[in-house]
Structures are given as structure tokens and as C-alpha cells.
Amino acid sequence: GAVVSQHPSRVICKSGTSVKIECRSLDFQATTMFWYRQFPKQSLMLMATSNEGSKATYEQGVEKDKFLINHASLTLSTLTVTSAHPEDSSFYICSASPSGGADEQFFGPGTRLTVL
Amino acid sequence: DAKTTQPTSMDCAEGRAANLPCNHSTISGNEYVYWYRQIHSQGPQYIIHGLKNNETNEMASLIITEDRKSSTLILPHATLRDTAVYYCIVRVGGGNQGGKLIFGQGTELSVKP
């Protein structure tokens, strides 16, 4: 099946710093990628839809200036958490759908962010 | 996208069939039913999806009622590795139409020896 990777798998940073998370589709091209956030004991919450070559579409309540998304190629999307604070500590997960109309979304393994 | 309702948790004996129900009474004609599962601290895994016909693959079977207001995911022979949170999601269109998946709270399935 299609594989999506994320890097890093785990990151610890100091409050006020910025953290970049990469999402790659390893064996397929993805016009669209999605970013989710998951707090402990809660479900996944969609943050934004990332479209290759255009601006991301953010869900209501998600600050676009804080969570910067770049989708520069058909296999890579990045999420940058700017000026991170402890309340940004969470599990960040990306997903991608193969270009050309495939029905499934494939998810990455997630990135655990801890802000001290 | 239509809302889904699932039981919070279920238990199943190892080797037995696990039947996970989902209600989606407000589903529209162009919305598909998708099932994903998430094992602790991992990304969700796609299981199966369907529009109105029953579907089967190597992982599971999906039974959709004739009025499409509910469905059941069946794991025919549950193993301990099937312990996970199972999410039933309805989504517009196949392919990338609409695209986004909105996750509810899911059903926490515990498979016991």
C-alpha cells in the first residue's frame, strides 16, 4: 500500500521556538495533503488542507500565522509551528491522497511535539 | 458532511467476529462510508469504504443497510492486534472530491484473550 512518512517522529523544544514537521508521500504523488492534531484521549482534529502549489485552507479556529503550511512539491508538505507554547504540545498527523482520484487517504505515523 | 454515532467502547473475544455498528442517519446520496482504525500512538489506518453495496477486503467486511442510515464493520476473526479505536466517517464523493475526513470519537475495541 501507499506509504506516508513524517519527520521527526518526536521533538522536544523550548517555548518560543519554531518547529518544522515534514510529511512525505514515499511511493505516490499527492496533490492534496491534510494536517491533523490529536490531544491525549481525544480524536483527530483536522487543522488544514494543503494543496500543492497554492495556499493551504485552514479549518475554523486554526491560526494560519501560527501553523504555517507549505506544499512545494507533489510528495512533500511541511507544517511549521511558530513560537511554540506548551499548549501546542500534541500529536501531529498528516495524510495524503494519491493524485488521480484514489478514494483512500493514507496517514503518516505522526509526530509527537512537546513544548517545554 | 453527515455526522456519525458509534458506541464508545466494545469488547470482543479473540477469534470471534467483531461487529462494530455506526449510525449515519443524515447521510446524503453522494456520501461514502469510510472506516479507519488507530492503534495507540500511531497514525490511522484505512480499513474499507463503500457507498451502498456491501464491501469485503482482506481486512474486513462492510455491511450498509438498504436505507444507508447505518452500517456495520465486521472483523471476521478478531486478534489481539485488532485492539484499536475504530472510526466511522462519511465523506462526500470518491476520489479527492471534498477530500477531508472529519473524525468523531470512534469506538474503542478491546480484543481479549
- State pLDDT tens for residues A84-113: 999 999 999 999 988 765 567 899 999 999
* Structure-model confidence comparison of residues B96 and A4, the more confident one: A4
Distance (Å) from the alpha carbon of A101 to chain B's nearest alpha carbon: 4
Mean per-residue pLDDT, B11-19 = 97
pLDDT score, position B96: 45
- Asked if the model's pLDDT at residue A57 lies above 60, the reply is yes
Residue of chain B minimizing CA distance to A40 = B41
Averaged pLDDT for residues A37-50: 93
Residues of chain A with pLDDT > 70, as a percent, come to: 96
pLDDT at A47: 95
Query: For residue A83, is pLDDT > 70?
Result: yes
H-type helices in A26-107, by residue range? none
Taking alpha carbons only, the member of A30, A15, A12 closest to residue A75 is A30
Distance from CA of A97 to the nearest CA of B (A): 7
How does residue B18 score in pLDDT terms, banded at 50, 70 and 90? very high
Question: A4-35 in b/e burial notation, b at 16+ Cβ within 10 A?
Answer: bebeeeebebeeeeebebbbbbeebebbbbbb
Question: Contact B99/A49, CB-based, under 8 Å?
Answer: yes
Task: Give mean pLDDT, residues B32-54.
Answer: 93
What one-letter code names the amino acid at A23? C
Task: Count the Cβ atoms, other than its own, within 10 Å of residue A93.
Answer: 26
Mean pLDDT of chain A: 92
Could B103 and A31 be called an inter-chain contact, meaning their C-beta atoms sit closer than 8 Å? no
Place of cell 494543503: A50
Identify the CA nearest to B112 among candidates B78, B87, B86, B85: B78
Is the pLDDT at B102 greater than 60? The verdict is yes
Determine the distance in angstroms separating the CA of B46 from the nearest CA of chain A, rounded to an integer: 7
* Residue found under cell 505515523: A109
Per-residue pLDDT at A103:
65
Instruction: Kindly list the residues of chain B whose beta carbon comes within 8 Å of any beta carbon in chain A.
Output: 32, 36, 38, 41-46, 49, 87, 94-96, 99-106
Q: Which residues of B touch A106 (CB under 8 A)?
A: 46
**Residue A54 pLDDT level (bands cut at 50, 70, 90):** confident
pLDDT band for B111, please (50, 70, 90 cuts): very high
Please count the residue pairs, one from chain A and one from chain B, whose beta carbons lie less than 8 angstroms apart: 63
CA distance B6 to chain A (A): 13
- Stretch B22-28: mean pLDDT, rounded? 93
H helices present in B1-113, as ranges: none
CB–CB contact A44 B100 (8 Å): no
pLDDT-derived band of residue A51, with 50, 70 and 90 as boundaries?
Answer: confident
